[in-house]
Each structure stands twice: as C-alpha cells, then as structure tokens.
A and B are shown apart, each in its own frame.
Chain A
Amino acid sequence: MDFSLDSEQIQLKEAIIKFSRKKLDNPENGNKGSNMHFSYDGWKNCAEFGILGLAVPKIYGGLELDPLTLMIAAEAFGYGCRDNGLVFAVNNHVFACTIPILKFGSVEQKERYLPKLASGEYIGAHAMTEAGSGSDSFSMQTTAELRGDKYVINGSKAFITNAPVADVFIVFAKTSKDRELGNVSAFIVERSFPGISKGKPFEKMGLQNAPMTEIYFDECEVPVQNLLSKAGDGFLIFNTAVEWERSYIFASHLGAMKRQLEECINYVKNRKQFDRPISSFQAVSNKIADMKMNIELAELMLYKIGWLKKKNKSSFLESTIAKLFISEKYIQASLDAIQLHGAYGYMTEAGIEQGLRDSVASAIYSGTSEIQRDIIARWCGLG
C-alpha cells in the first residue's frame, strides 16, 4: 500500500494552508463570545479560492477533486483556518447540501444549483433535525403533500447550521405520518419559496461563526421539479449525506487537532519550570504522545474512507467509526491543550480554550457518539 501523497495533492494541501492562514486566519473571527456572526468576508475569500466548489464537477464551475484528494483538502482547510465556525459553515454547505444535489440531483437541478453553490452565490444548508426528532431522525413530523404540480411542506426543523444566512436547503419530509423508511423524501427548498420563515439565531457554546436557527414551513410550496431523486428515496439520500459529513467534516477537525498539537509542542518545549522545559516531565510528554497517536490513527481511517469512496465502495461503517473516534479525541485534545498551557490556556485572549468550546459539539452533530456506538454494535450483529 502506498500511503504517500502525490505531488499534486501536496501542492493543493500547501496552497489551501497558505490561503487559509493569509485570508481567513483573522484572530478576531475566532472568538465572538455571544455575538452571532457569519464571516461574509471569509465566505467570499473561500469562494474566490475555490473551496466551496472543491467537489463540484468542472462543468459546473468546481474543481472536481476525487474523494481522496478532497479528504486531504478538507484536512488542510481545518489545519490552516483557526476559525472553526467558518470551517464548519463551509463544510456544511459543501458536504451536507452540495453533495446531495451532486449525487442525486437531475441534470436540470445540477445546472440550476451547483454553479451558484460552487461560486458561493448561494449558501447551502441541510434540514433534517426537528425539536422532537434528533437521533430518531425518521420520527420527524414535517410532511410534504403532493398537490398538483407542487409539494406543500408543513412543519419545522431545528438546529440547522447556516439557516440564518442560507439560500438553499435540503429539506427532508414525510409523505405520511407512518414510520416506514420509504415515506421520507428530500426536497431542494429555496429561501424565496412562499411559506418558509426562520427563527432567531441560537447562542451557542462554540462555533460562533456557524450561525444556527430553526426554520418553519407553513404551507410552503415547492415545485415538483425540486424533489431530489424519487419520492421515498429520502432515507438513502440522508444516509449518503451523513456518510460524507462524518468523514469530511471530521477531516477538518483532524486538521485542527494537528494545529493544536504543534502549538502544544512548541509551548511545552519553551515553557520552563524547575529549571527545565515542562516537556521533560512525563506527565506532560504522555499527553503529547497520546495526541500524536490519535492523530495518526484518525488520518489512517480518513484516508481509507477517501480511498473507498474513490472506488465507489460503501464507507458507512468506516465513516461511523471515524466520526466517533475523531470527535472524542478532538474534545480530549482540546482539554489537554488547555491543561498543557496552564492558566494561560484558560484565558480567552490566548485563543486555546476556544478549541474546547468548538470541539464539544462534534460528539453531537452528524449523529451522537451514543448513536455511532449503536450503529457499530448493530454492524457486528448485536441488537
């Protein structure tokens, strides 16, 4: 097996890191406290560089990266950009909205939406979760009724990333209230469609630059041409989207973990106590060793997923395992980063504690850690 990156992948990685540090690494962006903010400047810069269209075919204005190179790009983005909220907002746009349209959209839908999503003219979002259905996503209450040449959607969705600023939503709704999997459909819903409204942005513990709110559908009319794939295919579309999220959003988290490790190594080598660097104390170096070990293991899993996707093979189990492992190790690494920096790590001005506040949600979104463990156990034939 050849684990090395080819020269193009190395060049792309370096270019994304350089771009992110120069154009996105604004210290003011990372820590907005309770002020909800969306970095339009950062978004515009990402669009101009091409990050929003990395997965989109060239005929629609994208860079058409293969799945493995895309994984490397997502990691580089997370490594180079300290604004974890912006990274999260971009990744939701790319992997939870653009990818479903790319994979399941008709030619007409792709022509209508992909160029605008790739250019950043449209901001995308993915609306599955409801107040009463998080882990049990298919107990959703939002319905879609076919009336003539339109679907009429009624219901609401909660905790939708990018919703306050999004132009296009992938909305999942049921054609009846039964729990049957074949009753869920996916729709491309534009902000301008009648009957859609938004709530007030939530104040969150972290990821401040990834605004989030509820969206409400009150007799929202969606043309039948905006049905994604076929009626009843919503479950498979959702599982595909979530498989991409669990892999590629967490590739960016791996990048953030690598950045954290470098900062911690630099600090512990220079910080002296008892006339020697604190790195010489095993209690400190053990934490560094664990961070390094987890990064290497996460990287192997993610690159395997990129390889599987490149071969058009299912990576559902692998993405579940990767998501579970990386989210929990990311939170631990963020805690350790604070601990290693001592009191300085606890101060907001140092920017280290922001990593912990941003990382905690990773064990919740794209399926909680508890659900990931459930899936893995079921895959082993249990339950």
Chain B
Amino acid sequence: MGSFTIRYLFSTLKNINNIKPILVILSMSITKNLPYFLLRKGLYMTDNYKEVIKNYLCSDILKGLNDAGSIQDDRMLIKDGLLDSIGIMRLITFLGEKFNFELSEEDFKMENFETINDINKLVVMKSNKQ
C-alpha cells in the first residue's frame, strides 16, 4: 500500500464523511496485490492460471490464434500443429518466470503440454508444492 494512501488515511480518519473514498482506495490497493499474495500462498484460483496461460499463448505463441477466448481448454495444441518446438520451450520459460517455480526435467513430458488443461494442471501442481 503506497505511502500516499497511508498519509491520506490518517488525515481523513478524523472526518467520517471521507470513509467512502478510503474504502475505495483500500479495496484498490488490496485487489492489486491480492492475486500476487494468493499466488505466493498457493491460493491462486485455477481459472486465473488458465487465463494467464491462455493470454500468453495467444499473444504470439499459438499459430493463427490471438484471441484467448477462441481456444478451447481441451484443444490438442501439439497434435493440431498450434504449438511447435520453439513454442513449447518459450512456454516452459514463461511458466517458470511468471509463476516463480522450478521446472525440472521430470516435468518435461509431452502429456504436460498437450492442452490448456494439461498445462494448467502442471502449474497448479508445481505451485501447490511451494
């Protein structure tokens, strides 16, 4: 929470009429940090992981797809030619950096990268281990 927010809080606590803006600022501050907090505590909702994964893949990895909403969670990414060898390696790097966990060679199995659901399952498993 920023120092501006704290100073504002102290100065306005005296005046009860200012409670509404205080609540707004508090909620904005918490919700901005909540996902990161929950992620580190292993409490990130599964759907949030999927959104992050889909958005990344559709940004420039999956061939011909740039809309996360257009890809089904059980679409065969490798079999259908959407995810190629470089794409998989970029994805592995992204997952390790974004979710801050270690991916070792024992995670390097094709079954972990076949569909969005498979990738999500890997991320959930690795995050819960932390």
**For B93, what are the chain A residues with a Cβ–Cβ distance below 8 Å?**
314, 316-317
Binary interface encoding of chain A residues 192-233 relative to chain B, with 1 for a CB under 8 A from any of its CBs, else 0: 000000000000000000000000000000000000011011
B122 within 8 A of A: no
Inter-chain contact A312/B103, CB cutoff 8 Å: yes
Binary interface encoding of chain A residues 163-189 relative to chain B, with 1 for a CB under 8 A from any of its CBs, else 0: 000000000000000001110000000
A104 within 8 A of B: yes
**For B96, what are the chain A residues with a Cβ–Cβ distance below 8 Å?**
313-314
Number of interface residues of A (CB under 8 A): 25
Inter-chain contact B92/A316, CB cutoff 8 Å: yes
**For B103, what are the chain A residues with a Cβ–Cβ distance below 8 Å?**
312-314
**For B108, what are the chain A residues with a Cβ–Cβ distance below 8 Å?**
104, 233, 236-237, 239-240
State which of B79, B89, B102, B106 has its C-beta within 8 Å of the C-beta of A182: B79
A373 within 8 A of B: no
A148 within 8 A of B: no
* Interfacial residues, chain A to chain B (CB-CB below 8 A): 103-104, 138, 180-182, 229-230, 232-233, 235-237, 239-240, 311-314, 316-317, 375, 378-379, 381
State which of A233, A237, A314, A379 has its C-beta within 8 Å of the C-beta of B86: A379
Number of interface residues of B (CB under 8 A): 24
CA distance A138 to B110 in the complex (A): 15
* Interfacial residues, chain B to chain A (CB-CB below 8 A): 60, 78-79, 81, 84-86, 88-90, 92-93, 96-97, 102-106, 108-111, 114
**For B105, what are the chain A residues with a Cβ–Cβ distance below 8 Å?**
103-104, 240
CA distance A235 to B114 in the complex (A): 13
Inter-chain contact A182/B86, CB cutoff 8 Å: no
Inter-chain contact B110/A316, CB cutoff 8 Å: no
Q: Do A182 and B110 contact each other (CB < 8 Å), given the known contacts A314-B103, A379-B90?
A: yes
CA distance A233 to B105 in the complex (A): 11
